Amino acid sequence: MVQYSRSHLDASFAALSDATRRGVLEQLGRGNASITDLADKFHMTLTGMKKHVGVLEQAGLVSTEKVGRVRTCRLGPRRLEEETAWIERYRQLWDARFNELDTVIDELKRKEKANGRKK
């Protein structure tokens, strides 16, 4: 069984649970941005955006660099491989369950059709 780092998963999913933080990641996927630019884009205060960026930074999803008075944000070093593997494991589980359900439904339809012919 694959071992996952609970602290990484918890931090990542906590960071990704907020729509604003997901939006920040999407924005940074297009290019680096200052906290001021992000705050303007999301119509929030600098303090609010700093908190969101801080959560993303603690999860390793964003990194920041301060040059002079400007703090620039970019996508962080983590690529969400553990999170993707965790989600994939459950996707496969649900796929298997739905495939089993499809088999049961097909069997019931086949029996129903066969019983309908006998009448």
Q: Are 50 and 35 in contact (CB under 8 A)?
A: yes
Q: Are residues 85 and 71 in the same domain?
A: no
Owning domain of residue 114: 80-119
Q: Give first-to-last CA distance, the chain, whole Å.
A: 52
* Whether residue 96 sits in one domain with residue 47: no
Does 92 map to a domain?
A: yes
What domain count does the chain have? 2
Task: Note down pLDDT in tens along the chain; length 119 residues.
Answer: 455 567 889 999 999 999 999 999 999 999 999 999 999 999 999 999 999 999 999 999 999 999 999 999 999 888 888 889 999 999 999 999 999 999 999 999 998 888 876 65
Closest by alpha carbon to 5, among 78, 67, 108?
Answer: 78
- Residue type at position 81: E
- pTM given for the model: 0.75
Strand partners, 72: 34, 65
Other beta carbons within 10 Å of 10: 12
Query: In terms of domains, do 22 and 70 share one?
Result: yes
Q: Are residues 67 and 100 in the same domain?
A: no
Is the same domain home to 66 and 85?
Answer: no
Residue 33 within a domain: yes
101 in the same domain as 58:
no
Together in a domain, 71 and 84 = no
Q: Examine residue 1 and state whether it is found in any structural domain, yes or no.
A: no
